């Protein structure tokens, strides 16, 4: 009921009553009601919610109408009114804007997604420089696995590779900074640096009881792409990354394979941290007919879902025997290619469990000097399996014998692939 309707009804009732004998009492009552109404109205106008009390906050919007922000504003006010630094040497008060950044970071952390993170001004500037400029560092891909900073793969020939860093190594410290609860991108910032400088990594490795340290001298990183080798009647293609030039180099490697007259192929994706999705799509197209699903991108808004299909190069016949080698350093685009060719019955997977990096991130500018890297989609194999759900399990699990490999180059995983192809 509106106020206007309410007063209209009251007026009608008043007209039905003889008020002459109650005149004095009514005047007093009306006066009392008027006073109460005025006081209530005035209080209502003067009352402010916890949110409204924060005069320093601008651009407030109620984007999430189904979320009660009362607890947030109350906590904000409590901090404003009561907090005092316990460190007597602290002279600089944390700015309101810095606390807003902290709140955003906390919200993002609550998602428990290692690939979604907020970059305040300084970190945002560094991140943009890293993805657009020349890379100087130790040459390895890192990520968070089971809440531990983990080496996805060192780049072949890079300083980390030469120093003995291996895929699957857990990074416990970077110099004197403990990496526990440290976002992967923050750790990368510490690991990278100018050519000629060194960084000390404290690592934990399966099979070695105690943590150990490796000192790595940084350098300019040159990304290798493709190597080829002939092992008897088997042609081996080693693919180290999915860069912009990878599809052309892969095509050249396949041409070598065809010209060799062989029909047995090993595609080695071990230690390959991935790269461009389009590169994986192009490579898969050499083995699949037109229209076959390679990978699907599954978004929150299902209307945005996208399916990447084979371009149908499909130059190989049924006589092709293909094995793909994977390990804990095989991630992202490597898992897309391996998963697609396995599920379409083109290849068998040999080696160890892949990393399980099957998601898509977008960099969104929040302000002119801050940004948010947010996971916007997940990759699904042709059969609808999420790559992020533990990675790919090989058809034939084979552990690399590290000691034998160090001693004389014996590659137990490759040897197993050669053995299967000989059957």
First-residue to last-residue Cα distance in the chain: 85
- Domain check: are 233 and 154 in the same one? no
How many Å apart are CA 316 and CA 198, to the nearest integer?
A: 47
Q: What is the DSSP string of 146-207?
A: TTEEEEEEEPTTSHHHHHT--TT-EEEEETTEE-TT--HHHHHHHH---TT-EEEEEEE-TT
Residue ranges making up the domain that contains 188: 134-220
Task: Say if CB 142 and CB 150 are below 8 A apart.
Answer: yes
User: 38 lies in a domain?
Assistant: no
**Of the listed ranges 23-27, 195-199, 231-235, 260-264, the one predicted with least confidence:** 23-27
Strand partners, 350: 325, 396
Q: Which 8-state DSSP code applies to residue 346?
A: S
- Domain check: are 268 and 409 in the same one? yes
- Domain check: are 199 and 243 in the same one? no
- Domain check: are 216 and 235 in the same one? no
pLDDT tens-digit series, residues 157-169: 889 999 999 988 9
pLDDT tens-digit series, residues 293-313: 999 999 999 999 999 999 999
Higher confidence at residue 383 or residue 243?
Answer: 383
Closest CA to 321 of 412, 227, 236, 229: 236
Please report which confidence band the pLDDT of residue 243 belongs to, taking 50, 70 and 90 as the band edges.
confident
How many Å apart are CA 44 and CA 28, to the nearest integer?
A: 24
Locate 405 and state its tokens: 């490999």
Locate 241 and state its tokens: 């990354």
**Of the listed ranges 46-50, 69-73, 201-205, the one predicted with least confidence:** 46-50
Locate 48 and state its tokens: 């402010």
- Domain check: are 264 and 209 in the same one? no
Task: Say if CB 188 and CB 221 are below 8 A apart.
Answer: no
User: 69 lies in a domain?
Assistant: no
pLDDT tens-digit series, residues 29-65: 444 444 444 444 444 444 445 444 444 455 555 555 6
356: left (phi over 0), alpha (psi -120 to 50) or beta: left
Element (H, E) at 32: helix 23-46
How many Å apart are CA 127 and CA 118, to the nearest integer?
A: 11
Domain limit, last residue, from 205, 220, 235: 220
- Give the pLDDT of residue 339: 97
User: 367 lies in a domain?
Assistant: no
- Give the pLDDT of residue 145: 82
Strand partners, 149: 144
CATH of the domain at 178: 2.30.42.10
User: 120 lies in a domain?
Assistant: no
**Of the listed ranges 8-22, 284-298, 394-408, the one predicted with least confidence:** 8-22
- Domain check: are 175 and 280 in the same one? no
Strand partners, 215: 200
Report, as an integer, the average pLDDT of 226-230: 95
- Give the pLDDT of residue 187: 86
112: left (phi over 0), alpha (psi -120 to 50) or beta: left
Report, as an integer, the average pLDDT of 105-118: 89
Task: Say if CB 359 and CB 115 are below 8 A apart.
Answer: yes
How many Å apart are CA 122 and CA 115, to the nearest integer?
A: 19
- Catalytically active residues are 332, 343, 357
Locate 84 and state its tokens: 């005092």
Q: Is the pLDDT of residue 87 over 80?
A: no
Domain limit, last residue, from 191, 220, 249: 220
The sign of the torsion formed by the CA atoms of 347, 349, 354, 356 equals positive
Buried/exposed code over 205-232 (b: 16+ C-beta within 10 A; e: otherwise): beeeeeeeeeebebbebebebbeeeeee
How many Å apart are CA 263 and CA 421, to the nearest integer?
A: 10
Coil, strand or helix at 366? coil
Task: Say if CB 355 and CB 336 are below 8 A apart.
Answer: no
């Amino acid at each position: 009921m509106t106020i206007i309707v309410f007063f209209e009804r009251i007026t009608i009732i008043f007209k039905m009553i003889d008020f002459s004998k109650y005149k004095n009492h009514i005047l007093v009552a009306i006066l009392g009601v008027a006073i109460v109404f005025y006081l209530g109205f005035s209080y209502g106008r003067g009352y402010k919610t916890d949110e409204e009390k924060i005069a320093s906050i601008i651009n407030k919007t109620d984007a999430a109408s189904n979320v009660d922000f009362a607890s947030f504003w109350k906590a904000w006010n409590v901090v404003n009114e009561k907090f005092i630094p316990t460190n007597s040497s602290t002279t600089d008060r944390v700015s309101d804007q810095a606390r807003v950044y902290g709140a955003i970071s906390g919200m993002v952390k609550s998602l428990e997604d290692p690939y979604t993170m907020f970059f305040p001004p300084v970190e945002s500037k560094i991140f943009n420089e890293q993805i657009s400029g020349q890379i100087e560092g130790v040459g390895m891909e890192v990520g968070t696995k089971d809440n531990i900073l983990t080496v996805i793969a060192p780049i072949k020939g890079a300083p980390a590779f030469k120093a003995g860093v291996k895929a699957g190594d857990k990074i416990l410290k970077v110099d004197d900074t403990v990496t526990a609860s440290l976002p992967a991108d923050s750790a990368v910032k510490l690991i990278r640096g100018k050519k000629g400088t060194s960084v000390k990594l404290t690592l934990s490795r399966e099979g070695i009881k105690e943590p150990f340290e490796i000192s790595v001298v940084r350098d300019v990183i040159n990304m290798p792409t493709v190597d080829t080798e002939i092992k008897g009647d088997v042609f081996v293609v080693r693919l180290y990354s999915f860069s912009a030039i990878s599809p052309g180099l892969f095509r050249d490697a396949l041409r070598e394979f065809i010209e060799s007259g062989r029909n047995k192929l090993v595609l080695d994706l071990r230690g390959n941290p991935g790269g461009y999705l389009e590169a994986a799509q192009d490579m898969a197209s050499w083995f699949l007919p037109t229209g076959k699903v390679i990978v699907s991108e599954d978004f929150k808004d299902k209307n945005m879902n996208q399916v990447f299909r084979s371009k149908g190069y499909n130059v190989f016949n049924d006589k092709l025997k293909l094995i793909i080698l994977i390990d804990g350093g095989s991630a992202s685009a490597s898992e897309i290619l391996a998963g697609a060719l396995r599920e379409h019955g083109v290849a068998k997977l040999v080696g160890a469990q892949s990393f399980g990096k099957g998601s898509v991130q977008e960099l969104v500018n929040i302000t002119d000097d801050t940004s948010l890297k947010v996971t916007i989609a997940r990759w699904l194999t042709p059969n609808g399996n999420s790559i992020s759900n533990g990675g790919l399990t090989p058809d034939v699990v084979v552990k690399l014998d590290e000691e034998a490999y160090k001693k004389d180059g014996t590659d137990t995983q490759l040897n197993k692939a050669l053995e299967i192809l000989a059957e």
